[in-house]
Amino acid sequence: MKFGIVIFPSKKLQDLANSYRKRYDPHYALIPPHLTLKGPFDVSEEQIKEIAEKLHGVAKRFNPLHINVPKFSSFQPVNNVIYLKVEPTQELQDIHEAIDALQIGETSEYSFVPHITVGQKLSNDEHSDVYGSIRMQMVNHEEVVDRFHLLYQLENGSWTVYETFRFGKE
Amino acid sequence: MKFGIVIFPSKKLQDLANSYRKRYDPHYALIPPHLTLKGPFDVSEEQIKEIAEKLHGVAKRFNPLHINVPKFSSFQPVNNVIYLKVEPTQELQDIHEAIDALQIGETSEYSFVPHITVGQKLSNDEHSDVYGSIRMQMVNHEEVVDRFHLLYQLENGSWTVYETFRFGKE
């Protein structure tokens, strides 16, 4: 089964992200807006119980953290993904590293850029149009994140939550 | 904010349900296949933390439970909902009552009929056609359920998981 690890931001930020995702993200109906901590990995249903226990251990070691979302950004020229930029902080970096250190599946080849995707699989023209119109828009959103989630993917490509992990809790 | 409490069955059963929901359930893209323990209720973000604590208390009092899904059924003539019938058991009834006893929002006016919806908002003709073709099909699926989830609804009607509660765990 394919699993992933994400933070769901507040309803307010999810609603904002969805107002763009609806038009610009083909994954709109497959998963709520999210900040990916670990991208898709394949493990068996047996193994996932052990991994979930380890993730409880990781969550326990961290406190709830502030995240700051200043504005939109883009991965261009690497790809045509537009996202809500989440200010990289030491806490986010540490959590990402703690999860990576569990050595589940393959380690990501990309450096960790915390973000919430709002548009992807756009043509170059679409990307220019959309990003051109929202890049100057300030978001300046702050919130406290107190949990993350382990998800699995169904055959239709959509994601269901397996378990929640609260920071500072066993 | 609007919240709900559900059980997500195994991936296998979700995939089966989705193969029908894709065509017959307008909620297909809004929420994964689920067994509703408590329908939508309105509470503030403040209150939900207290409710989540109480739900941990409920979960702790129960052991993981077997569910048995023999076949498809329908709520006709009450409404045109087609569902995977979940055999009512004392455990399911007890869990439902324990959640109801928390007196969150309004108490349901319907008796508890555990089910996983696969089709709804069908015209009478559609209902007859679809139900006629699957009612004789045996499902005979059994599994163990070891958790339930508290969800909230976004502005677009889709649902995000707030928290997981594992039976037998604090």
Which value, to the nearest 10 degrees, does the dihedral of the CA atoms of residues A110, A112, A116, A121 take?
Answer: -10
In B78-165, which ranges are continuous DSSP H helix? 90-100, 124-134
Contacts for B8 with CB less than 8 Å, ≥ 6 apart: A160, A161, B14, B32, B33, B34, B149
Q: What is the pTM of this model?
A: 0.94
A149/B32 Cβ within 8 A: no
Instruction: Kindly report, residue by residue over B18-34, the tens digit of the pLDDT.
Output: 999 999 999 999 999 99
- Per-chain mean pLDDT for chain B: 95
Residue B154 has its nearest CB partner, among A11, A155, A156, at A11
Give the residue on A whose Cα is nearest the Cα of B2.
Answer: A11
Give the residue on A whose Cα is nearest the Cα of B49.
Answer: A146
Which of A95-104, A158-167, B41-50, B98-107 holds the top average pLDDT? A158-167
Residue A154 has its nearest CB partner, among B32, B45, B162, at B32
Instruction: Kindly report, residue by residue over A15-53, the tens digit of the pLDDT.
Output: 999 999 999 999 999 999 999 999 999 999 889 999 999
Residue B152 has its nearest CB partner, among A11, A152, A159, at A11
State the residue for tokens 């958790």: B147
For range A147-155, the mean pLDDT: 98
All domains of chain B, ordered by start, with CATH?
Answer: 2-166 (3.90.1140.10)
Instruction: Kindly report, residue by residue over B48-95, the tens digit of the pLDDT.
Output: 999 999 999 999 999 999 999 999 999 999 999 999 999 999 999 999
Contacts for B81 with CB less than 8 Å, ≥ 6 apart: B74, B75, B117, B119, B120
Q: Is the ipTM reported for this complex over the cut 0.90?
A: yes
CA A149 to CA A164: how far, in whole Å? 5
B14/A154 Cβ within 8 A: yes
Catalytic residue among B34, B96, B127, B149: B34
User: How close A49 gets to chain B, by Cα (Å)?
Assistant: 12
* Known catalytic membership, residue B115: yes
Looking at beta carbons, which residues of chain B come within 8 Å of A154?
11, 14-15, 18, 32
